[in-house]
Amino acid sequence: MTIANTVKITGENYIGFQKSSNGTITFKTHNPATKVDNTTIFYEACDQEIEDALSLAQKAFPFYKETSAKQRANFLRTIAEEIENLGETLINMYCNETGLSKNRAHGEKARTLLQLRLFADVVEEYSWIEACIETSIPERKPIPKPDIRKMNIPIGPVVVFGASNFPLAYSTAGGDTASALAAGCPVIVKSHPMHSGTGTLIASAIVTAAKKTNMPNGVFSNLNSKGIAVGQKLVQHPATCGVGFTGSITGGRALLDIAAKRDIPIPVFAEMGSINPVVLLPEALKTRGEELAVSFANSITTGSGQFCTKPGLLLAIDDAALQLFLKKLKREIIAVEPSCMLHPKIKGAFEKNREKIVEQKHVSSITATNHCDDNYGQPSIASITATNFLKNQRFQEEVFGPFSLVVICKDKNQIAAVLQSLQGQLTGTIIGNNSEIKEYKNIITVLSSIVGRLIFNGVPTGVEVCNAMVHGGPYPASTDSRFTAVGANSIKRWVRPFSFQNWPDSLLPVALQNENTLKIKRLVNNQFTNSKI
Ligand code: NAP
């Protein structure tokens, strides 16, 4: 067992099981709370290290994909154990590289462990392979029907981009990595430069787990980078078969375009920006305005607003209840102390992007939109009429940080018009009383067509990791709205359907053999069954 608090960070890359620092470009991470650089010098991966990581992954793939469900589940559970063994070293590193609190670090770590263990269960449960069997009908006229058996198989090495705002749950051993490893795909992580130390600690846990559970060398690599070149080369590399990304629309779109221009294009599953519209219906505002102001102020400002599900757009019909709600929301927002943002660059982008909104014609700032000293983000809200919102596309741009824009509508038709004008979103929310909801059916229909998750009487922040979760949505919320980046179904991004035709039973994968020794549920001749054939 690794002894907590003794892992030394050396700033090297992990090329499979080997540490390596052959590059000449170096960098340090930054503590946004103290405004001091952390001490470790990280080495950006050089071209040879990129080549070596992918070549190892390519060699590991045929062996890794043949590991049994039990072996892969054991690997994932051992990664979770090794992360736990990092103890306070991990928590301190996380806080020193992000300015986030210890509470948040512990919460995110718990979620990361839960995801790893969930995917261990998912692998062993087998439903993700979607086993489907059509037995032959030799006597069928005019031509005999062949025996055809289908299951999902892994696509090959996957490149995962660590996210700035989730150093654990969407980074080195986050949802993308856990789901790809569960599917049987080797993973090469392009570590996020803002939290490379946290990434290296987690990488050390994954490599230890891989060795302990006899996984092939190359099943996992972790590459440091200071700029975008390493990520671009990874996506261009012919051995890469898929990409997982969380971040900006600019970054995700750039990677999607690179992938599309390859000789052999590959899928890029990018989860990008969203302003997460919330419709506040009149009766709800009248009867629960106070309570709603408290919960939305909290949702807008939690984690300094650095969540992809932060409610960035509030829509309501102009009446006395709305005016009262805005007064209460203003009071609540002003009461929230500015908190440290992830990095000076993120803080700079927050203030610049908020400025771009509030300086537009006809926007009224409801609270002050101060520039804070240090790396803190001042919570704020502003408003605009729907008529003016509809005239300017800029209002659709995500302001990543504690800011929300209220759109004041004349009536429900204007709410529908604003929703209709929006690009794809991760979430949409309806706040309403049962007595009024039927009147707004059209709005619910319009909202459903642009989002991946529809929330009723709640806030969009807080994404449950479970089978039924969809964290994705029409472009640009994600690059492929048919998939989710969170929850058990995210494994489907890393598999492809594969059919065996007239194949001898003994040579089929166990999951498709007649005996069904795994006792899994299969679709056999159009009937779901756990029975043997
Ligand atoms: P980002 O700029 O999109 O970067 C994410 C990762 O992608 C980084 O590792 C970055 O590499 C890489 N990357 C970016 N542009 C690239 C390109 N053209 N080619 C290849 N790789 C590229 O996101 P971020 O650094 O996490 O934060 C910046 C902004 O993104 C935030 O201010 C926010 O607006 C947005 N963001 C949104 C979400 C969301 O969930 N919606 C989450 C996080 C961030 P380097 O760092 O090495 O440049």
What is the C-alpha to C-alpha distance for residues 519 and 533, in angstroms, rounded to an integer?
A: 11
Q: Is 287 helix (H, G, I), strand (E, B) or coil?
A: helix
Q: What pLDDT, on the 0 to 100 scale, is given for residue 209? A: 98
Contact between 251 and 400 (Cβ < 8 Å): no
Q: What pLDDT, on the 0 to 100 scale, is given for residue 149? A: 98
Cis amide bond preceding 186, omega within 30: no
The reply to whether ligand 1 has any atom less than 6 angstroms from the CB of 247 is yes
Distance, CA 268 to ligand 1 centroid (Å)? Answer: 14
The full DSSP string for 123-160 is HHH-GGG--EEE--BTT-SSSPBPPEEEEEEE-S-EEE
Going by alpha carbons, the residue nearest to atom 20 of ligand 1 is 228
What is the C-alpha to C-alpha distance for residues 213 and 86, in angstroms, rounded to an integer?
A: 18
Q: Which of 308, 340, 398, 409 is catalytic?
A: 308
What is the C-alpha to C-alpha distance for residues 391 and 373, in angstroms, rounded to an integer?
A: 34
The reply to whether ligand 1 has any atom less than 6 angstroms from the CB of 192 is yes
Q: What pLDDT, on the 0 to 100 scale, is given for residue 3? A: 42
Tokens of 397: 């741009």
Q: What pLDDT, on the 0 to 100 scale, is given for residue 374? A: 87
What is the C-alpha to C-alpha distance for residues 243 and 269, in angstroms, rounded to an integer?
A: 6
Distance, CA 303 to ligand 1 centroid (Å)? Answer: 18
Q: Number of helices (H) and strands (E) in the chain: give both, helices first.
A: 15, 25
Give the domains, in start order, of the chain with CATH numbers.
Answer: 17-125+147-272+485-492 (3.40.605.10), 277-456 (3.40.309.10)
Q: Is 132 a catalytic residue?
A: no
Q: Say what angle helices 249-261 and 229-236 make with each other, to 10 degrees.
A: 30
The reply to whether ligand 1 has any atom less than 6 angstroms from the CB of 509 is no
CB atoms within 10 A of CB 219: 28
* pTM for this model (two decimals): 0.96
The H or E element that residue 199 is part of is helix 196-212
Of ligand 1's listed atoms, the one at least distance from the Cα of 227 is 47
The full DSSP string for 81-118 is HHHHHTHHHHHHHHHHHH---HHHHHHHHHHHHHHHHH
Distance, CA 13 to ligand 1 centroid (Å)? Answer: 20
| Residue appearing with tokens 């007649």 | 514
The full DSSP string for 394-419 is GGGS---SSEEEEEEESSHHHHHHHH
The reply to whether ligand 1 has any atom less than 6 angstroms from the CB of 255 is yes
- Smallest Cα–Cα separation from 259: which of 240, 278, 280? 240
Taking only the tens place, the pLDDT of each residue in 65-115 is 999 999 999 999 999 999 999 999 999 999 999 999 999 999 999 999 999
The reply to whether ligand 1 has any atom less than 6 angstroms from the CB of 248 is yes
Q: Is 308 a catalytic residue?
A: yes
Tokens of 250: 């600019």
State how beta strands 18-20 and 26-27 pair: unpaired
What is the C-alpha to C-alpha distance for residues 377 and 347, in angstroms, rounded to an integer?
A: 7
What is the C-alpha to C-alpha distance for residues 122 and 128, in angstroms, rounded to an integer?
A: 7
H-state helical runs in 99-169: 102-125
Q: Which of 12, 82, 108, 271 is catalytic?
A: 271
Indicate the top mutation candidate among 228, 243, 275 to test ligand 1's pocket, ranked by most ligand atoms within 8 A of CB: 228
Residue 146 gets which letter from DSSP? P
Q: Is 61 helix (H, G, I), strand (E, B) or coil?
A: helix
CA angle 298, 304, 308 (to 5 degrees): 85
CB atoms within 10 A of CB 35: 11
The reply to whether ligand 1 has any atom less than 6 angstroms from the CB of 306 is no
Q: What pLDDT, on the 0 to 100 scale, is given for residue 369? A: 84
Contact between 182 and 491 (Cβ < 8 Å): yes
The H or E element that residue 27 is part of is strand 26-27
Q: Say what angle helices 175-183 and 69-85 make with each other, to 10 degrees.
A: 150
In the chain, which residues have pLDDT < 50?
1-5
Going by alpha carbons, the residue nearest to atom 23 of ligand 1 is 247
The reply to whether ligand 1 has any atom less than 6 angstroms from the CB of 343 is no
Q: What pLDDT, on the 0 to 100 scale, is given for residue 186? A: 99
